[in-house]
Amino acid sequence: MKTFLISDTHFGHANIIKYCDRPFANVDEMDQAIIKNWNSVVAPDDKVYHLGDVTLSKKKLYILDHLNGTKVLIRGNHDIFKLKDYMPYFKDVRATHELGGYILSHIPLHDSQKQRFRGNIHGHIHEKNLPDPWYYNISVEQIGYTPITLEQAMKRYSRFNIRRKESAKNDILS
């Protein structure tokens, strides 16, 4: 069993194509591409943390039935439906979740949390990554419209941690 991460699918949201310059001709093409990409890497027994903004339309929640894996929703600013609407599709619905020393959230957390967690894996900011490598934006635009594994995220952080240690060592030597 693998653990996957994804954010900001916005199933059924036609305007997100224009707002975020997504490379799709229409919303059906976008939804089908994300479904295909998801199921190409996620097996039925895998776990997927969706870091919010699944869909703006309650009518599009059914798409989740077509996605592999056991899903956990970290609610985003557009996940506004009642809990009962999400529960048929998600094993759990949360505001945040700690995983392997990292904090999963939809919106990037305040940097006061840096002492508590190794990094903040988040969504919400579609078109850019924050300049501070403590934050890792996994909005679909940033990860090729395909869920990434927790191991991929941790590998990205391990590169940052090595650089941070080397930088601290250089500061001590200078």
Q: What is the mean pLDDT of residues 60-70?
A: 98
Higher pLDDT among residues 168 and 129, named by residue: 129
Where residue 172 falls among pLDDT bands split at 50, 70, 90? very low
CA distances from 21 to 32, 141, 145, 174 (A): 17, 9, 13, 45
Which domains can be identified in the chain, with CATH numbers? 3-173 (3.60.21.10)
Q: Of all residues in the chain, what percent carry a pLDDT higher than 70?
A: 91
Q: How many other β-carbons are positioned within 10 Å of the β-carbon of residue 173?
A: 6
Say how far apart CA 14 and CA 19 lie, in whole Å.
9
16 with 22: CB under 8 angstroms? yes
Q: Say if residue 169's pLDDT is above 90.
A: no
13 with 57: CB under 8 angstroms? yes
Residue-wise pLDDT for 10-58, tens only, equals 999 999 999 999 999 999 999 999 999 999 999 999 999 999 999 999 9
